[in-house]
Amino acid sequence: MEAAVPSRVALSAASRFPNRHAVAGDRSSIYKGRCQSLAIPMALSAAAPGKGGVLDRPVEKTTPGRQSEFDVKKKRKMTPPYRVMLHNDNYNRREYVVQVLMKVIPGMTVDNAVNIMQEAHVNGLSVVIVCSQSEAEEHCTSLRGNGLRSSIEPASGGC
């Protein structure tokens, strides 16, 4: 029963050899001579670094022709940002502009849509969203398809 629990083995081994002092990291201080149980050396060797222990990083395997999740996120960060601009017009009602913004732009809240619409109405132009070029083109096309005047432009400084 003692040999199954390594901490008890270390205590009982220290009591068997009173003249021997245990030193940290010294494997021979735990037992002397042939080990009675094979579980102790196995536990000591399993904790060696780089041998498939618990703390090793999992290896992400990708199939040929597919990108890993890390590569997709890195590519998304590396693309230059573009602004989707909303232009003021005298044809569409303000409520309709807010409805279209909420429908076309994912995650757009009523408050943000009202602020964007109001800025375009007062200043003649407002930034709707900053995103990648392909997403900006899709949003711009959707806004135009719903009768709003919009354009895209590169975002300077990434903001």
Can you give the residue range of the structural domain that contains 128? 82-154
CA-CA distance, 89 to 7, in Å (whole number)?
Answer: 79
Give 100-113 pLDDT, tens digit per residue. 999 999 999 999 99
> Residue 82: which of 121, 126, 34, 130 has the closest Cα?
130
Answer whether residue 38 shows pLDDT above 90: no
Give 53-68 pLDDT, tens digit per residue. 566 666 666 566 676 6
pTM of the model: 0.52
CATH code for the domain in which residue 86 is found: 3.30.1390.10
* 122 within some domain: yes
* 10 within some domain: no
CA-CA distance, 128 to 126, in Å (whole number)?
Answer: 6
DSSP state of 158: G
* 39 within some domain: no
* 87 within some domain: yes
CA-CA distance, 111 to 119, in Å (whole number)?
Answer: 12
Widest distance between CA atoms in the chain: 97
* 144 within some domain: yes
Instruction: Give the Cβ contact number of residue 117 at 10 Å.
Output: 24
